[in-house]
């Protein structure tokens, strides 16, 4: 069961919601070497899309094709500039257009790989393009050149290993996450993984949320168990971060998100009320490492730095609250979930008004 914050959802929230600006306009990258033949391409204008290049003696692999054929061609040129090995593989870490629309510009000889659920989610180019217009402020024409959605040539289940010639790459799918088919591209030799939309730097909520926060948290726990030696994560959006602390932060965030929204939904709060309360009262806050990452980041836009990332985090949080609220509504309509109206605050039964007033107290009971 999926929910996406669409244009209609933004209007419902008073039209004030602004999606993250993912327009390819002005998108450039700083290649950062992370090991032999391993480069991160970090967008100078976050949260626009990051990429990665991993090269062995015999072949190179690029992470994500970008939001348009033009972006894809630039990334391919950057790959050719940092390695002499031929580009043989491209991994889509999500089905979403900002990771897959550029597939169409890849030479036929490049094998496009994705998880099986990601491939299944690539159904309608028109519908996927429509999802992106709210994230293209002032640049509605950006997707005009996207006329064909090249699908992955091959898919994998939970794990696939690729030998590039002296460099091993592992592709993982840990379960539903930000999207149904999130993939993680791990280079064990560099203790680094590209995490797509699945895992951002600690302090940054998911770029979008297309499923249940609790299932997502379970997938993150699987990642923690299966990649215990991982040190660095390079997300598709925003700065690179420390792997284990980013995983732990997001698990806690998702559990709190679900718990808070569920408590408000139980008592009949509207989506707007849920947003208002959760924006004020949710316990998450940006860890100091995010401030440090903001300082170290080579931003090339006005208003950059810590305040920029903090503002981005708030917008992503708002989007996640609404997505979670809609998920609960959908489950109720499907008969999978009923409202729990038996909550007590400090020993007293709640009214709808008091649950909003005393959201902190309810959360403190940890009854969810």
Q: What is the DSSP string of 144-206?
A: TT----PPPSEEESSEEEEE-SS-EEEEE--SSSSSTT--EEEEGGGTEEEEETT--STT---
- State the Cα–Cα distance between residues 49 and 65, nearest whole angstrom: 10
Residue number, 51 or 326, with CB nearest to Zn ion: 51
- Stretch of residues binding Zn ion (CB under 5 A), selected from 70-78, 92-100, 149-157, 348-356: 92-100
Residue 67 Cβ vs Zn ion, minimum distance, rounded to whole Å:
9
Tokens describing residue 102:
């550029």
The residue (of 68 and 85) whose beta carbon lies closer to Zn ion is 68
Q: Which is closer to Zn ion, CB of 204 or CB of 277? A: 204
Q: Cβ closer to Zn ion: 253 or 267?
A: 253
Q: 137 with 21: CB under 8 angstroms?
A: yes
Q: Considering only the stretches 70-78, 90-98, 133-141, 289-297, report the one whose residues sit in contact with Zn ion under the rule CB under 5 A.
A: 90-98
Closest by alpha carbon to 198, among 186, 208, 190, 189?
208
Q: Which stretch binds Zn ion (CB under 5 A): 166-174, 191-199, 281-289, 323-331?
A: 191-199
Span interacting with Zn ion, options 163-171, 233-241, 296-304, 308-316, rule CB under 5 A: 233-241
Start-to-end CA distance of the chain, whole Å, equals: 21
Smaller CB separation from Zn ion, 98 or 273: 98
If you count DSSP H runs as helices and E runs as strands, how many of each does the chain have, helices first?
Answer: 12, 15
By the rule CB under 5 A, 197 interacts with Zn ion: yes
Site string for Zn ion, 244-263 (x = CB under 5 A): --------------------
Q: Does 128 bind Zn ion (CB under 5 A)?
A: no
- Establish if 236 lies at the interface with Zn ion (CB under 5 A): yes
User: By the 8 A CB rule, do 66 and 77 touch?
Assistant: no
Only one of the segments 94-102, 210-218, 273-281, 350-358 lies at the binding site for Zn ion (rule: CB under 5 A); that segment is 94-102
Write out the two tokens for 354.
Answer: 């008091």
Q: What is the DSSP letter of 237?
A: B
In the bound state with Zn ion, the residue whose beta carbon lies nearer, of 197 and 266, is 197
- The residue ranges that bind Zn ion (CB under 5 A) are 98, 197, 236
């Amino acid at each position: 069961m999926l929910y996406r914050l669409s244009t209609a959802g933004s209007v419902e929230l008073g039209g004030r919601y602004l999606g993250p600006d993912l327009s390819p306009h002005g998108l450039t990258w700083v290649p950062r070497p992370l090991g032999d033949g391993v480069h991160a391409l970090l967008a100078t204008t976050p949260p626009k899309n990051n990429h990665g290049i991993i090269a062995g003696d015999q072949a190179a692999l690029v992470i994500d094709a970008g939001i348009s054929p033009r972006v894809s061609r630039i990334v391919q040129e950057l790959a050719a500039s940092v390695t002499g090995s031929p580009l043989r593989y491209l991994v889509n870490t999500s089905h979403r257009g900002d990771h897959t629309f550029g597939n169409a510009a890849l030479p036929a000889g490049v094998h496009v790989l994705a998880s099986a659920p990601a491939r299944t989610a690539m159904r309608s180019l028109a519908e996927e393009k429509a999802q992106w217009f709210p994230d293209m402020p002032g640049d509605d024409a950006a997707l005009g050149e996207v006329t064909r959605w090249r699908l992955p040539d091959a898919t994998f289940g939970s794990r696939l290993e690729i030998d590039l010639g002296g460099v091993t790459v592992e592709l993982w799918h840990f379960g539903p996450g930000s999207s149904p088919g999130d993939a993680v591209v791990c280079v064990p030799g560099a203790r680094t993984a590209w995490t797509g939309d699945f895992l951002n730097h600690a302090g940054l909520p998911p770029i979008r949320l297309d499923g249940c926060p609790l299932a997502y948290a379970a997938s993150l726990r699987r990642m923690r168990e299966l990649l215990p030696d991982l040190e660095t994560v390079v997300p598709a959006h925003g700065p690179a971060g420390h792997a284990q602390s980013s995983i732990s932060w997001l698990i806690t965030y998702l559990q709190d998100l679900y718990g808070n929204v569920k408590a408000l939904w139980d008592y009949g709060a509207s989506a707007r009320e849920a947003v208002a309360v959760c924006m004020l009262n949710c316990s998450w806050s940006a860890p100091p490492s995010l401030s440090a990452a903001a300082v170290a980041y080579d931003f090339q836009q006005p208003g950059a730095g810590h305040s920029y990332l903090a503002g981005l985090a708030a917008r992503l949080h708002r989007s996640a609250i609404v997505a979670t609220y809609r998920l609960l509504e959908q489950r109720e309509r499907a008969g999978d979930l009923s409202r729990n109206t038996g909550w007590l605050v400090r020993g007293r039964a709640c009214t709808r008004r008091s649950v909003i007033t005393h959201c902190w107290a309810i959360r403190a009971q940890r009854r969810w």
